[in-house]
Amino acid sequence: MAGVQASTLEQDIAGARRVLGHRNLVFVGLMGAGKSAIGRLVAQMLEIPFVDSDHEIERVSRMTIAELFEAYGEAEFRALETRVITRLMKTGPRVLSTGGGVFMNEATRSRVLKSGLSVWLKADLDILWARVSKRDTRPLLKTANPKQTLSDLLDQRYPVYALADVTVQSRDDVKETIAAEAIAAIARLAGGQDEIQIS
Ligand SMILES: Nc1ncnc2c1ncn2[C@@H]1O[C@H](COP(=O)(O)OP(=O)(O)OP(=O)(O)O)[C@@H](O)[C@H]1O
Ligand SMILES: O=C(O)C1=C[C@@H](O)[C@@H](O)[C@H](O)C1
Ligand SMILES: [Mg+2]
């Protein structure tokens, strides 16, 4: 990497850490957007802990997301998800990659907007589809026409995801580039927001 680029990245990392303070950096977006993959990289780059809410739910329940949906239904899964996010939002800083439905819950969204810093990883349908169709682990896509279901979710959810503090275009570029863009976008928030305290 050229010296100028490296020093810009270092400045962005320092800036993003300052902007974040004790807050959690919360990745939101549809299935396949890269919340887990990019979130993990951003956490490594910022040198703060990383938690993925889907993994945390699987850890505490000792069941997979698919098993939870199967055994208890979506409503119970959402209740568990809300409890997990509420607990995680009480301390920081960390990178918190959320399940695709987390930001759709009004109370959770308010909590994230008030006490965290949110990044929407926005991706086109074809990119999402190419990624999620490789595995059949996502219960919401077990439908007769999963690509249409994903497209419907995109229509419903994009206006809500757009409420996130920052939007970063997720695409088939190297993950490090997308992660660096997210960090730069956060660093640019410096001075644009009052410091928000964790409740
Ligand atoms: N920029 C990228 N280039 C290539 N592949 C990517 C990129 N970002 C993510 N991926 C891949 O796409 C797949 C989906 O990414 P990931 O699991 O991070 O999505 P997610 O937003 O966490 O989805 P979910 O809501 O289902 O957990 C993974 O295999 C990941 O490695
Ligand atoms: O978009 C969603 O509602 C979901 C996304 C996944 O991350 C999982 O949280 C679950 O499959 C539901
Ligand atoms: Mg994920």
Write the DSSP assignment of 66-111 as a string of letters: HHHHHHHHHHHHHHHHHHHHHHHTTS-S-EEEPPTTGGGSHHHHHH
Q: 131 in ligand 1 pocket by Cβ < 6 Å?
A: yes
86 in a structural domain: yes
pLDDT at residue 137 in the model: 83
Q: What is the CATH number of the domain that holds 71?
A: 3.40.50.300
3 in a structural domain: no
6 in a structural domain: no
The answer to whether 124 is annotated as binding is no
Which ligand has its closest atom nearest to the C-alpha of 181? 1
Determine the distance separating the centroid of ligand 2 and the alpha carbon of 24, expressed in angstroms.
20
Q: Quote ipTM for the complex.
A: 0.97
190 in a structural domain: no
Closest CA relative to residue 189, chosen from 172, 164, 169: 164
- Which two three-digit tokens encode residue 32? 């396949």
Closest residue to atom 24 of ligand 1, CA basis: 31
Q: What is the Cα–Cα distance from 137 to 197, expressed in whole angstroms?
A: 37
Q: 12 in ligand 1 pocket by Cβ < 6 Å?
A: no
Q: 128 in ligand 1 pocket by Cβ < 6 Å?
A: no
Q: Spell out the per-residue pLDDT of the chain, length 199, in tens.
A: 555 566 799 999 999 999 999 999 999 999 999 999 999 999 999 999 999 999 999 999 999 999 999 999 999 999 999 999 999 999 999 999 999 999 999 999 999 999 999 999 999 999 999 999 998 889 999 999 999 999 999 999 999 999 999 999 999 999 999 999 999 999 999 966 544 444 4
Q: How many helices (H) and strands (E) does the chain have?
A: 8, 5
- Which two three-digit tokens encode residue 133? 């169709």
Determine the distance separating the centroid of ligand 3 and the alpha carbon of 161, expressed in angstroms.
15
Domain, as residue range, for 40: 12-183
Looking at ligand 1, which atom is closest to the CA of residue 40? 18
141 in a structural domain: yes
pLDDT at residue 126 in the model: 97
Q: Are 170 and 29 in contact (CB under 8 A)?
A: yes
pLDDT at residue 135 in the model: 86
52 in a structural domain: yes
Q: How many domains does the chain have?
A: 1
Q: 122 in ligand 1 pocket by Cβ < 6 Å?
A: no
151 in a structural domain: yes
pLDDT at residue 197 in the model: 41
167 in a structural domain: yes
Strand extents, DSSP E, the chain: 24-28, 50-52, 95-97, 116-122, 166-169
